[in-house]
Amino acid sequence: MADQKSAILYRMVLPDHVCPFGVRAKEMLETAGYAVDDRILSTREEVDAFKADQGVETTPQVFIDGERIGGSDDLQRYLGA
C-alpha cells in the first residue's frame, strides 16, 4: 500500500535491558497504522553514539516524514493519544 504512513524508530535493546519506552513507542506507532522501520541500538556504545549524533538525552527517538518527533511521551502527544 503506497500511501501507508511510515516512521523510523530508534530504540535500545541491550542484552540485559529492553527499554520499555521503545516498546511502547513501537506499539503506539503500529496501533496508529504506521509501518515501523525498527532500528535497534544493541550496545551501550551505539546508544551513546546515537544520542550524541542526534543531540538528544534519551531513547527511543521517533522520526516521521524526516522530522524528529521525540520520545514516547512526545509521540503520544503527536498522535493525540
Q: What is the pLDDT of residue 18?
A: 96
What are 5's three cell numbers? 504512513
What are 80's three cell numbers? 493525540
pLDDT in single tens digits along all 81 residues of the chain: 457 899 999 999 999 999 999 999 999 999 999 999 999 999 999 999 999 999 999 999 999 999 999 999 999 999 996
CATH number of 6-79: 3.40.30.10
Amino acid at 64: I
Burial of residue 31 (CB within 10 Å: 0-12, 13-18, 19+) is exposed
Q: What is the pLDDT of residue 11?
A: 98
Q: What is the pLDDT of residue 33?
A: 97
Q: What is the pLDDT of residue 2?
A: 54
